[in-house]
Amino acid sequence: MIGSETLSRFVDWKDRNTCILFGDGAGAFVLQASDKPGGGLSAVMDSDGSGADSLTLLGGSCVTSSLPQELTACEGKHFVQMDGRRYSAFATRVKGRAVMEALEALGLTTNDVQWIIPHQANFPNY
């Protein structure tokens, strides 16, 4: 599985609230069947749009398609904008819920797990 993203073109490098968090990246991993126990035991895929307005890209989208692109670009709307506190609280809440759902599907609790390694820097409260 390979994943990549190019976010640097949407980052305002003068905005320390976002430029230190968003950039370009890629990652890959290979899975294969094994007779040994272990591996991927559970996964949760979810979608929750309730935090959408805390992380936005206001320009160059269907929201502003009727406005001239030059105007939205001059207003800085083509850059990622984030309400950091609100987004962090949202991300921590949904991440914690997903971890608990994945453990529950296996009949486990957090006491049964030695490490949980999230993909973001937030520290979830489980």
Domain boundaries, the chain: 83-115
Q: Collapsing DSSP states into helix, strand and coil, what is residue 111?
A: helix
Model confidence at 100, pLDDT cuts 50, 70, 90, reads: very high
pLDDT of residue 88: 78
Residue 41 scores a pLDDT above 80: no
Residue 96 near residue 125 (C-beta atoms within 8 A): yes
pLDDT of residue 20: 83
Q: Distance between CA atoms of 107 and 101, rounded to whole angstroms?
A: 10
Residue 6 scores a pLDDT above 70: yes
Q: Distance between CA atoms of 92 and 2, rounded to whole angstroms?
A: 25
Residue with tokens 């990652």: 27
- pTM value? 0.58
